[in-house]
Amino acid sequence: MLEQHFALPRTVDRIRALWLGAAIDRYVIWLEEQRASAATVKQHVRTLVHFNAFAIAHGATTWDDLPALREPFIAQWMKERGRDDRSWRARGVVHAHAHAPVTQLLRLIVPGYVGTVQRVGVPFLGGAAGFFPYLRDERGLRPTTLHGYLHHLRAFEAYLQRVGISDLAELTPALLSTFLTERAPRLGALGMRDCSGTLRVFLRYLHRQGATPSDLSRAVPSGRSYRQATLPRAIAWSDVQRVLDGVDRRSAVGKRDYALLLLLVSYGLRAREIAALRLDDLDWPQAQLHVPLRKGGHSTVYPLSATVGEAIIDYLRAGRPAVDDRLLFHTVKMPYGPMTDSAVSKQVAAHLRAAGVQVPRAGSHTLRHTCVQRLVDADVPFKVIGDYVGHRHAVSTLVYAKVALHRLRQLAIGEAEEAL
């Protein structure tokens, strides 16, 4: 298999002559079975060549010695390549280039080895390493909620590094106020509310753990938002068609994205509901789609339209990687894994931008709003619309009354009784 990825025979001979040469050759065969791209194979082999040298330099004599060397190797890799001046996202890519191939190789050649998923970018590991376990284990927050905490605390950590604060005990109300002032132009009202809420929870935790002498959470103002203060982010149906037409369905990622775009705009699903769909939720004999565990705690059964069904079948036949996981949508590059809700939303935003559709806060909710708007325009009752898209409260649907223009025109010309 190495010959298919490295043109020079001497390069192949050099790799096979390594102490880990036979293991690397076996690993490349496994990558081929997982449909890894040629670029991925080359990148992973190069990393394992470095890992081979590292293992020999640290006295490894058997493959059973290798698991203990994984973390030191990744640490050295990050020291040499993951400079602190890079963004957390860029450092995460560097980290993955070391972590993924070494962990996968060890799982392949060391019986019983599992390894743990290591990620970079978790803020305040030095001063408050237990904060995210506290949120997950003690407070029981969902991964999607934890992602919001990560986003705001990364910005807070970067701000403290910029102003030279390394000890959390040095935090003051003035520092907190300056940070929020800097963040305000980048965030809307809801974003500032979430940022302030994150800081208050973090500061209360710090005080509980004795990391700060006083509870500074009271110095963080609570953001305020008002119900019905915004408009839905719907787009015209012609824009939806332009987005769908712009998807290159010849590739695996195009087949996947076309299917999830149709699911979003046809049924008004949320990104987390798309990410949670399983193969078992597709009832092909009855032509039904089951959406369990919705935000309101209920489930919904939809008729599976022919267009959506054909797109999903096309993805399953020629786009979905050969994995044992029963979740429907997966990444299309190694290492394969289920798509997250944020990944779904990012893909939708990318397709909206590629189609030239201008919309505030582009993402999966844009198509959800569009689905609801189309139902409003068709004079479907608001209660039915709310049930269709899984709204927990009726007031969530009533926001679309503000953009039911055909009904508002009737009110404006005096036909209020007929309109209502």
Indicate the pTM of the whole model.
0.67
| Residue 256: both structure tokens together | 């996947």
Query: 184 and 250: one domain?
Result: no
Q: Are residues 25 and 103 in the same domain?
A: yes
Spatial separation of the C-alpha atoms in residues 139 and 181, rounded to whole Å: 29
d(CA 332, CA 406): 44
22-31, 154-163, 347-356, 408-417: least confidently modelled range: 408-417
How confident is residue 202, by pLDDT bands cut at 50, 70 and 90? very high
Is 15 in the same domain as 76?
yes
- Judge whether 270 counts as a catalytic residue: yes
104-130 residue pLDDT tens: 999 999 988 877 654 556 888 878 889
> Are 388 and 359 within one domain?
yes
pLDDT digits (tens, 9 = 90+) for 32-60: 887 777 888 899 999 999 999 999 999 99
Number of structural domains (the chain) is: 3
| DSSP string of 350-364, one letter each residue | HHHHHTT---TT-SH
**What is the tens place of the pLDDT at every residue in 354-413?**
999 888 778 888 888 888 888 877 878 878 888 787 777 766 666 665 555 555 555 455
Please give the residue that has the higher pLDDT: either 323 or 348: 348
Query: Is pLDDT at 4 greater than 60 in this prediction?
Result: yes
Instruction: Give rounded-to-5 percent helix, strand, coil for the chain.
Output: 60, 5, 35
Residues 147 and 273 in one domain: no
- In a domain, residue 291? The reply is yes
Residue 133 has pLDDT above 80, yes or no: yes
Of 272, 365, 369, 407, which one is the catalytic site residue?
Answer: 365
- SS3 assignment, position 299: coil
pLDDT of residue 411: 47
278 DSSP β-pair partners: 327
Task: Show contacts of 394-401: CB within 8 Å, 24+ apart.
Answer: 395/227, 395/228, 397/372, 398/228, 399/228, 399/230, 399/231, 399/232, 400/232, 400/372, 400/373, 400/376, 401/376
Both 153 and 97 in a single domain? no
In a domain, 116, yes or no: no
- 295 belongs to the catalytic site: yes
Which residue did the predictor score with more confidence, 83 or 141?
Answer: 141
Task: Supply the range of the domain harboring residue 159.
Answer: 131-219
Residue 131 pLDDT class (50, 70, 90 cuts): very high
365: annotated active-site residue: yes
19 and 84: one domain? Answer: yes
Written as six digits, the tokens of 70 are 């994984």
State pLDDT tens for residues 220-269: 987 666 665 566 677 888 999 999 999 999 999 999 999 999 999 999 89
Catalytic-residue membership of 391: yes
Sequence-distant (6+) residues with CB within 8 A of 32 are: 1, 41
Q: Which of 44, 91, 270, 320 is catalytic?
A: 270
pLDDT tens readout for residues 293-342: 777 677 889 999 999 999 999 999 999 988 888 999 998 876 678 898 88
**283 in the same domain as 386:** yes
Please pick, among 368, 369, 374, 407, the residue that the annotation labels catalytic.
368
Does 250 lie in the same domain as 213?
A: no
Q: 315 catalytic, yes or no?
A: no
Retrieve residue 326's tokens: 């029963």
How high is the pLDDT of residue 118?
47
Which entry of 70, 255, 391, 407 is annotated as an active-site residue? 391
Residues 291 and 158 placed together within one structural domain of the fold? no
Q: Judge if 397 and 255 occupy the same domain.
A: yes
Pick the catalytic residue: 46, 295, 298, 326? 295
